[in-house]
Amino acid sequence: MLGLRHARASILVVEDDPALARTLVDALEGADYRVWHAADGQEARAYMDRARPDLILLDLMLPDMDGLVLCSVLKGMAEVPIIVCSATMRRSDPVLALKLGADDFVRKPFELDYLLARIEALLRRAPPRTGAATLPPPRQSELRVGDLVVEPSRRRITLAGDAVSLTPTEFRLLSVLAAHPDSVLTRDRLAQEVWGYADASNGRTIDVHVRRLRVKLGNGQVRAPSIVSVRGMGYRITNDEGAISAA
């Protein structure tokens, strides 16, 4: 059962290393944060307009601009807590980061538990923000697609009675699909429901999460509902064996 203390907190991870970014996103989602990832400064600025995060994790070594400059830019766009995470060897960088608006500096490599503790401490001190993106409330107390049961109020998924372990993002995505069985949902519609907004990059992210859901739902011995790709449109979840065979 996931904790609820971070259910409304969102974090923007600005990190160009794909492996580290994936590790951070998984760890933060596992701690029940809502997470967005930007690989460079341009993406980070775009997310600031759309996602309005509650906290930013910022790398200094980015492909398109100096992270110290970006720190100042992001702070000017919104009064959001920023934790700079960097392996820089320059002794002046932590001081410059704090002077340019960062609220904390964590040197790489770091322990995930330590970073999570720094995040939680900073969010406790930060004043509540208004207008942050929110997720729609669950429409039903229980959703069923064949042997798959989704219980939004309990944040629980079972398949033929066995619990299925999902990240928060995977849970939200599967809940949206299960609420509309046999209906085609576009990538933009799914992104809007899961993250509160839609753009081109979210479509690619939806594809990644769908692939992971297929693996997790296909690991058991029972026949799970299938998440079917509909070319040029999006996805639908179905328990129809004909559709499953054709997918």
CB 41 within 8 A of CB 64: yes
CA nearest 171: which of 187, 153, 183? 153
Is it the case that residue 147 has pLDDT exceeding 80? yes
Average pLDDT of the residues in 216-225: 74
For the segment 62-119, what is each residue's pLDDT rounded down to a tens digit? 999 999 999 999 988 888 999 999 988 888 889 999 988 899 999 999 999 999 999 9
Q: For the chain, which residues make up each domain, given as ranges? A: 10-125, 143-246
Average pLDDT of the residues in 194-207: 70
CB 71 within 8 A of CB 82: yes
Is it the case that residue 235 has pLDDT exceeding 90? yes
The pLDDT value given to residue 208? 87
Q: Helix, strand, coil % (nearest 5) of the chain?
A: 40, 20, 40
The pLDDT value given to residue 168? 78
Out of 1.10.10.10, 4.10.520.10, 3.90.800.10, 3.50.50.100, select the CATH number for domain 143-246: 1.10.10.10
Identify the CATH number of the domain defined by range 10-125. 3.40.50.2300
CB 21 within 8 A of CB 46: no
Assign 149 to helix, strand or coil. Answer: strand
The pLDDT value given to residue 30? 84
